[in-house]
Structure 1
Amino acid sequence: MNIDLHKLTAALLYNPQDPILFNSGFFLYFFAALLLCYQFVHRSPRGRVWLFTLFSLYFFYKACGYYVGLVILAAIVDFNLSRWIYYSESRAKRNALLTFSIVVNLGLLFYFKYTDFFIGILNDLELGHFRPLKLLLPIGISFYTFENLSYTIDVYRRHFKPVDRFMDYLFFLSFFPKLMMGPIVRAADFIPQIDKPYHVTSEDISKGLYLIIAGLFKKVVISDYIYVNFVQYVFDDPSKHVGLECLMAVYGYAMVIYCDFSGYSDMAIGIARWIGFKIPPNFDSPYQSSSITEFWRRWHISLSSWLKDYLYIPLGGNRKGKTRQYINLMLTMLIGGFWHGANWNFIFWGGMHGLALAADKKRMEWEKRRQRPVSPAWRTVKKIGGILFTFHLVCFCWIFFKASSFSDAWTMLHQIFLNFDGGTWSAFYAGYSTVLWVMLLGYVLHFIPARTEERAVRGLQWLPSWSYVFILTGLIWAIIQVKTAQPVMPIYLQF
């Protein structure tokens, strides 16, 4: 009995080696307990808020331990600051309070995420000999920091009135499906749903089931398998692999990062739908984009729209001439790259996308001036060519995003362009045939038209409710058969 109690206590406490994830075994028990408790409070808006908030804070504790206190602290600070901003009649006071909110939020983010980065720069410039603090990055801090900032800024802009109850704001900030890896949800989209009567339609259930199934499949079956069995080996030391292997690893990583992040986002959105909340989509088949501008409308939509509304437009957007527009694009993408991590590779990755976006704006201006009619056939060719070019441009940038250093990135490119060795295809296929077929499956599923997904959701609506349990149980059993021995941490967990 003591042994069982010890195991139970250990399972309930935070374990840094085994944080809770949507695809972890403990999450099934967590979610089942939430749904069970929910039956007792689902008719009470206040009861739902307290239940979801407590479960969300516990979920975050299981993910990152006592760093859960940072979420509570951030909620306390911005709940009060936003109210003081809204009810203050002095513009100078409102400006000072907003500035203080931005400094506090970004200060916490910079302290944990970028302190060692700048210490390294100072040491490299021989401006001192400072010892790195080696701080652990709190999970999700980049996401809930941006949610805090958007809330306070929108209140400052008088876009909406701040909430009157602290628990409502803490609930919004800590809502567990989107807490660790987004999507970055705006308060204006989420908070109005809190006091609405609980109502889940058959479409919510079927759509939620579809998203959970699709997310689990993308994350565990496609992303984890490709990464563990192929991609990580090549990126760990590209000099040991010929260009053919390096190129296929780049294609593999493009699918890995998409299925990893979008899979987790799909699960978050699906779980939220099941408990009565709608979170905006975060991905829209980005590799179907025919231009880099379109790609950023489809990739990490919540971050792209945040950067546009709270950085690009305040910088001037396209309102101050073309040159200033290009500068604003570059600054926005550089900061977007820096948001991903304290690493020069991320900044370089953001800079390349900034240059690409500026060049794409120039291309669109040139095409608009020409205004020449084109045939449907040429339009199709142009569309396919645009998709292929954009995909390879994004893949080229992924090399710098994934590589641990510039040296590794340049080695990867050297192997691809100067040591391709296509004659090794037969041996390569023999060794990695399953990985290649899983990659192909991922790309085929990615390019399936959206209407096919809609038909699948409508088909699930006709199934009896008991069949959902059967489908999920079957999927979980299938995933257990193919999943990797050790769980693969989601890529965006580090951001």
Structure 2
Amino acid sequence: MNINFQFLIELFKYKPNDPLVFSTSLFLFLFLFFLLIYNFIGKNKSLRLSFLILFSLYFYYKSTGYYAGIIIISAVVNFLFAKGIAATDRMLFKRIYLLFAVIINIAILGYFKYTNFILQIFSEINKTNFEPLSIFLPIGISFYTFKSLSYVFDVYLETLEPTKSFRDFCVYVFFFPNILMGPIDRASKFLPQIDNEPFLSKEDLGRASLLLMVGLFKKVVIADYISLNFVDRIFDFPLRYTGVENLLAIYGYTLQVYCDFSGYTDMAIGVALFFGFKLMDNFNSPFKATSIADFWRRWHISLSTWLLDYIFKPLQFSIRSLKIWANIIAIFITFVICGVWHGAGWNFIIWGAMHGFMMSFALITQKPKQKLYTLLKINNTKFLKFFQTLITFHLIAFSFLIFRTSDFQIIKDMFSQIFDFFHAEVFIQFAEKLPVILGLIILGYILHFMPTKIENVFKKLVIALPWYFQAVLMVIVIWIVAQFKSADIAPFIYFQF
């Protein structure tokens, strides 16, 4: 047998444009190999956890190269400061430890993510030419920074007893399924699971398999296909297309963002289940939301609850004497921070501020709206809920325009085409020329808006199937994914955050 060892070595080395993600064949191979070894050594806790840490670090190395060392520094810093907070009874020292932990975490995150943006702002103020510095942005740095900080905050607030084991803390921070794009799990939920021996019940096996299949389908078949073959083309040159096509691209991108991010989350939760860990749910049919506040209770739940617990509540409490204005100010600041967390660009700041404004406006008008609904006798009716959902969805969809592009001329051009060059008759031509694209967009929204009862019945049926039927289903899904997969794997949208 001729084995090309050089090829194998290159295959396992870090490549900047080839991260190790769940939708690649290399990951599936390594995952099965690692899972076999992990279960074989399952009764030896020390060996099992050490192996998990090493594999998680390798997984992260495949995405960031030697910048993987940053996550090790982050783990050491946050473990020591949390330990210092717990070890002292003096509030002054606790606050000093907390302050230094926050400064170091934000400094690391800020350098890699925001340095060029800040320098660009100063350059524009001084009207000088700006040459961006060559700074590599490690994938997932925003996620594991917030995850590590939540541990420090919880220890400081005395809602969590700090772990004495640095190894266990490393398992929490490095855990590979959610290291790149979340969910941003809480240590209070994750750390107790470390002591459990690997055990996969029939229900967990079925749920894990279903999540992997659904996640792969969302990411590759829906998100990647409609992006590469339709959405990107419209956003690149909106004036070449009619208003109908521009509007469909907005709907398509809204679905793409959801399927891309929730698809990763589904796979992350499914992969974690195979190793005996249960991560928090991160999405709950967000486009069914009847308000912007309801949307954030359903979208990126781990981030929205993080912002609620560690930004909004302390801020709102500190200015509570302002009454309703305390809520409004706290909401607005929290969502500006949410925008900044997503990316270094004015479009993200405006996107966050837009959500803060919409939530604040809804809060101010809450009582008048309720009086109007009662007067019209439509309060708590399906009619009202339908229109609330419809309006909320379109507010979210159009806000994603700003989320996607920093070129506001593109946004202007898309609105110009929608309002001045709509041409509804083009929809028939679009359906005839791009039936797969239209079909996938419609299918994606049908599946998303499917009644919860029907969705739960389907889940129970798949989970109840014997493992060999689940394996057949998995093979079918992988085959379907292979038919839609392009030569180059489209990176996950949230990798940039």
Alignment TM-score, normalising by the size of structure 1: 0.96
Partner AA of 1:420 in structure 2: F
Matched residue, 1:141: 141
Give the whole-Å Cα distance in 1 for the aligned partners of 2:435 and 2:77: 54
Matched residue, 2:82: 82
Give the whole-Å Cα distance in 1 for the aligned partners of 2:402 and 2:408: 7
Paired residues of 1:312 and 1:332 also in contact (CA < 8 A): yes
SS in structure 2 at match of 1:16: coil
Give the whole-Å Cα distance in 1 for the aligned partners of 2:46 and 2:292: 45
Does 2:229 match 1:229?
yes
Give the whole-Å Cα distance in 2 for the aligned partners of 1:22 and 1:231: 23
Partner AA of 1:187 in structure 2: A
SS in structure 2 at match of 1:315: helix
Give the whole-Å Cα distance in 2 for the aligned partners of 1:151 and 1:199: 26
Give the whole-Å Cα distance in 2 for the aligned partners of 1:168 and 1:378: 48
CA pair 480-377 structure 1, distance change in 2 beyond 3 A: same
Matched residue, 1:405: 407
Give the whole-Å Cα distance in 2 for the aligned partners of 1:27 and 1:8: 14
How many Å apart are 1:345 and its aligned residue? 0.6
CA pair 208-453 structure 1, distance change in 2 beyond 3 A: farther
Give the whole-Å Cα distance in 1 for the aligned partners of 2:403 and 2:284: 21
In structure 2, list runs of 5 or more residues that go unmatched: none
Give a deviation string over 1:81-119, Cα, whole Å, max 9, x none: 110111112211111110000000010110000000011
Q: Which of these residues, 449, 454, 459, is aligned with residue 451 of structure 2?
A: 449
Note the 1:287-306 alignment, pairs <5 A: 287-306=287-306
Say what the alpha-carbon RMSD is for the aligned residues. 1.9
Matched residue, 1:332: 334
Percent of aligned positions with the same letter in both sequences?
40
Matched residue, 2:435: 433
Does 2:62 match 1:49?
no
Give the whole-Å Cα distance in 1 for the aligned partners of 2:330 and 2:412: 28
How many Å apart are 1:361 and its aligned residue? 1.5
Give the whole-Å Cα distance in 2 for the aligned partners of 1:212 and 1:456: 15
Give the whole-Å Cα distance in 2 for the aligned partners of 1:367 and 1:203: 44
Matched residue, 2:95: 95
SS in structure 2 at match of 1:314: helix
Matched residue, 2:256: 256
Paired residues of 1:330 and 1:354 also in contact (CA < 8 A): yes
Give the whole-Å Cα distance in 1 for the aligned partners of 2:339 and 2:245: 27
Paired residues of 1:289 and 1:387 also in contact (CA < 8 A): yes
Q: Which of these residues, 337, 341, 344, is aligned with residue 342 of structure 1?
A: 344
Paired residues of 2:346 and 2:406 also in contact (CA < 8 A): no
Give a deviation string over 1:348-397, Cα, whole Å, max 9, x none: 11111111101122233334567838767971110000010000010110
Instruction: Please identify runs of 4+ aligned residues in structure 1 that moved more than 4 A.
Output: 127-130, 367-371, 373-378
Paired residues of 1:231 and 1:252 also in contact (CA < 8 A): yes
Paired residues of 2:185 and 2:280 also in contact (CA < 8 A): yes
Matched residue, 2:186: 186
Partner AA of 1:178 in structure 2: N
How many Å apart are 1:11 and its aligned residue? 0.8
SS in structure 1 at match of 2:425: helix
SS in structure 1 at match of 2:344: coil
Paired residues of 1:312 and 1:329 also in contact (CA < 8 A): yes
Matched residue, 2:27: 27
Note the 1:30-429 alignment, pairs <5 A: 30-126=30-126, 131-316=131-316, 319-320=320-321, 321-367=323-369, 372=374, 379-429=381-431
Give the whole-Å Cα distance in 1 for the aligned partners of 2:232 and 2:130: 33
CA pair 245-129 structure 1, distance change in 2 beyond 3 A: closer
Give the whole-Å Cα distance in 2 for the aligned partners of 1:233 and 1:115: 31
How many Å apart are 1:279 and its aligned residue? 0.5
Give the whole-Å Cα distance in 1 for the aligned partners of 2:287 and 2:316: 29
Deviates more, 1:104-113 or 1:375-384: 375-384
Give the whole-Å Cα distance in 1 for the aligned partners of 2:238 and 2:59: 38
Give the whole-Å Cα distance in 1 for the aligned partners of 2:129 and 2:412: 30
CA pair 253-371 structure 1, distance change in 2 beyond 3 A: closer
SS in structure 2 at match of 1:278: coil
SS in structure 2 at match of 1:372: helix
How many Å apart are 1:487 and its aligned residue? 0.8
Matched residue, 2:12: 12
How many Å apart are 1:460 and its aligned residue? 2.9
Does 2:477 match 1:475?
yes
Partner AA of 2:405 in structure 1: A
The number of equivalent residue pairs is: 495
Give the whole-Å Cα distance in 2 for the aligned partners of 1:311 and 1:403: 27
SS in structure 2 at match of 1:158: coil
Deviates more, 1:130-139 or 1:224-233: 130-139
Give the whole-Å Cα distance in 1 for the aligned partners of 2:454 and 2:106: 42
SS in structure 1 at match of 2:283: coil
Give the whole-Å Cα distance in 1 for the aligned partners of 2:367 and 2:180: 39
Partner AA of 2:270 in structure 1: G
SS in structure 1 at match of 2:184: coil
Paired residues of 1:123 and 1:130 also in contact (CA < 8 A): yes
Paired residues of 1:119 and 1:131 also in contact (CA < 8 A): no
Alignment TM-score, normalising by the size of structure 2: 0.96
Deviates more, 1:315-324 or 1:116-125: 315-324
Give the whole-Å Cα distance in 2 for the aligned partners of 1:110 and 1:381: 46
Partner AA of 1:416 in structure 2: I
SS in structure 1 at match of 2:432: helix
Give the whole-Å Cα distance in 2 for the aligned partners of 1:436 and 1:325: 42
SS in structure 1 at match of 2:195: coil
CA pair 368-82 structure 1, distance change in 2 beyond 3 A: same
Give the whole-Å Cα distance in 1 for the aligned partners of 2:196 and 2:369: 47
Q: Which of these residues, 477, 485, 488, is aligned with residue 487 of structure 2?
A: 485
Paired residues of 1:177 and 1:269 also in contact (CA < 8 A): yes
How many Å apart are 1:448 and its aligned residue? 1.2
SS in structure 1 at match of 2:431: helix
How many Å apart are 1:479 and its aligned residue? 1.1
CA pair 53-245 structure 1, distance change in 2 beyond 3 A: same
How many Å apart are 1:127 and its aligned residue? 7.0
Give the whole-Å Cα distance in 2 for the aligned partners of 1:146 and 1:427: 47
CA pair 388-97 structure 1, distance change in 2 beyond 3 A: same
